[in-house]
């Protein structure tokens, strides 16, 4: 049973070092990020109408960034849902364990950069929504 809610997830402003020759955004542990990064991956060439995600994690935390373009992230804790649009490379969405997420509405050329707290481990995923719901049952307050 994982007692997290969507309200434990948040958009972090990463900051921007502005320069007329282009901008830099920096991510450092304990400054912008509350975990050690053990893996980085990125999604790209997502076809129009494509849906990614569709799972939750038992242990892994991640920071999701629209490094280019934009997309929506649907967050769901089994009771409450919200959609976060990511459309700037200097914002990151922190997703804690125990949250079902779906990534959708990718713009053409969008790049979804993911910093993850764990290496890839198939056993850390819950990919069945009903099993996810059952894992959350009776532990989430409903917020109106």
All residues at 6 or more sequence positions from 50 whose CB lies less than 8 Å from its CB, including other chains = 104, 106
* Part in contact with ligand TYD (CB under 6 A); list of ranges 15-23, 37-45, 73-81, 131-139: 37-45
Token readout for 17 is 């070092």
Interface pick for ligand TYD out of 120, 121, 128, 137 (rule CB under 6 A): 120
Pick the catalytic residue from 18, 55, 57, 138: 55
Task: Considering only the stretches 7-15, 38-46, 84-92, 134-142, report the one whose residues sit in contact with ligand TYD under the rule CB under 6 A.
Answer: 38-46
Task: Kindly state the smallest distance separating residue 56's Cβ from ligand TYD, in Å.
Answer: 11
> In the numeric block, which tokens belong to residue 118?
């764990």
Catalytic residue check, 18: no
Q: Establish if 41 lies at the interface with ligand TYD (CB under 6 A).
A: yes
7: three-class secondary structure by DSSP: helix
Least spacing, CB of residue 50 vs ligand TYD, in Å: 9
- Number of Cβ within 10 Å of residue 101's Cβ equals 21
Q: Residues in contact with ligand TYD, total (CB under 6 A)?
A: 7
Q: Quick one: tokens of 22?
A: 């282009």
Question: Using CA atoms, how far apart are residues 74 and 84, in angstroms rounded to an integer?
Answer: 6
Run of H or E including 103: strand 100-104
46-65: contacts with ligand TYD (CB under 6 A): 52-53, 55
Q: What is the DSSP string of 88-108?
A: -TTEEEEE-TT-EEEEE-PPT
Catalogue the active-site residues. 55
Residues that bind ligand TYD (CB under 6 A): 39, 41, 43, 52-53, 55, 120
């Amino acid at each position: 049973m994982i007692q997290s809610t969507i309200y434990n997830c948040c958009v972090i402003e990463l900051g921007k070092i502005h320069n007329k020759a282009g901008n830099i955004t920096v991510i450092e542990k304990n400054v912008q990020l509350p975990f050690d990064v053990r893996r980085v991956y990125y999604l790209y060439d997502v076809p129009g109408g494509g849906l990614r995600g569709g799972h939750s994690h038992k242990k892994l935390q991640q920071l999701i960034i629209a490094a280019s373009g934009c997309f929506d992230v649907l967050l769901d804790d089994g009771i409450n849902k919200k959609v976060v649009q990511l459309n700037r490379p200097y914002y990151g969405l922190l997703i804690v364990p125990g949250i079902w997420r779906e990534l959708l509405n990718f713009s053409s050329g969008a790049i979804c950069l993911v910093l993850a707290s764990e290496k890839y481990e198939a056993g850390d995923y819950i990919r069945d929504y009903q099993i996810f719901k059952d894992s959350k049952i009776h532990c989430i307050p409903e917020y109106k």
